[in-house]
Structure 1
Amino acid sequence: MDDLARLVATEDVRRVMARYVYSADHHRWDDLAALFLPDAPFIASTVDGSVQARMTGRDDIAGQLKARNHPDSVLVHHLFSSEIDFESEDSATGVWAMEDIVTRPAGEPAGMHGYGHYRVRFTRLDGRWLIAELRITRLRLDWTY
């Protein structure tokens, strides 16, 4: 991969993650799920490494996220300091430091303020970068009531 192709691919991958957080913050779960390969896993872990959520495939991702997030919840996701490596012209991995804040309406389960990393594998399919696997690993997770 030459330097120009690598720069273009890097920006394309960053834009996938930007669309991911935008879609999450605006409760656009079907748009978020469309960023994944049809059978891609999405796994979120707690600070101790235990699995908090496991979803597989677009329908499961969109369905679980809709069920877990009250329409009146406020979600805020921040991405920082991306590190992207290309295994080939059509395969990449990336790590983003992240922060997410979930505020839920009264009577709903606790909200949260989390810190950690998105660890993502990407595949370019028909010229479009998609998430092949996404893992959230947590460094800190504060529950808010």
Structure 2
Amino acid sequence: MNELYRKCTIRSIINLYVGGNDWPIGACGEQRLEEEGCMDALERLEAIAEIRALKARYCRLLDRKSWEEWGQVFTADVVMDVSDDIKPAMGEQLISGRGKVVEQVRGFMQQAVTMHQVHEPEIALTAPGKARGIWSMQDFVAWPDGVESPVPFRSTRALGWYEAEYAIEDDQWRIARLKLVRQHAEMN
């Protein structure tokens, strides 16, 4: 599909579902973003699609234990808040920096069987190259028989959400800040 056709097709879909070019999408607080030098509707949809794909990679690479690649979903100075999940005696609750995030999560998850799922997000583009998102989530983590669990239980199934901030770094959307919020957890 050529680029012009793709853009026209997507613009037609936008116009059909959101009522034309005056869709108040507000990345810069204006209805007509293209006139303000900000993102037009197509660029916003592309950015949101890229952020959704980023979160899918986050889950897949985490569950596959592809630590080097998983680290690349984060900005170099990422801050991860796991205070709803990790008690102070177990590890850092507020982790700063890509390497430290990967190191701590690898320490907990390397030997575990995991499955992370996220559901329909709420994503807002807040400024050029910046966004926020909230993702409903559910995860399952279990340490098989014969593997020492780094926590005082053998498995957990939990529900909650991720609160995230995103930034473009090296021409890619990445997670700049992530907070895991637990609504419910069953531990065995």
Mark yes or no: TM-score above 0.5: yes
Structure 1: stretches of 5+ with no match in the other structure: none
Matching of residue 19 in structure 1 with residue 63 in structure 2: no
**Per residue, is there more strand in 1 or in 2?**
1
Equivalent of residue 81 in structure 1, options 112, 116, 120: 120
TM-fit CA distance, 1:142? 1.2
Q: CA separation in 2, counterparts of 1:20 and 1:105?
A: 23
- Looking at structure 2, the residues matched to 38 and 125 of structure 1 have their Cα atoms a distance apart, in angstroms, of 9
- Bigger shift: residues 81-90 or 3-12: 81-90
CA contact 1:29–1:65 (8 Å) conserved in 2? no
Larger RCO (CA within 8 A; separation ≥ 6): 1
**SS, match of residue 120 in structure 2:** strand
Q: 1:40 to 1:70 in 2, by over 3 A?
A: closer
Distance 2:170 2:65 in 1: 27
Gaps of 5+ in 2: 1-38
Which residue is equivalent to 2:135?
96
State the structure with more CA Rg.
2
Counterpart of 1:121 (choices 154, 159, 165) is: 165
**TM-score normalised over the length of structure 2:** 0.70
The structure 1 segments of at least 4 consecutive aligned residues displaced by more than 3 Å after TM superposition are 49-53
Contact 2:65–2:110 (8 Å) recurs in 1: no
Following TM superposition, by how much is the alpha carbon of 1:50 offset from its aligned partner in structure 2, in angstroms?
Answer: 7.0
1:63 is displaced (CA, Å) by 0.9
Answering whether residue 178 of structure 2 is matched by residue 134 of structure 1, we say yes
The aligned counterpart of 1:67 is: 107
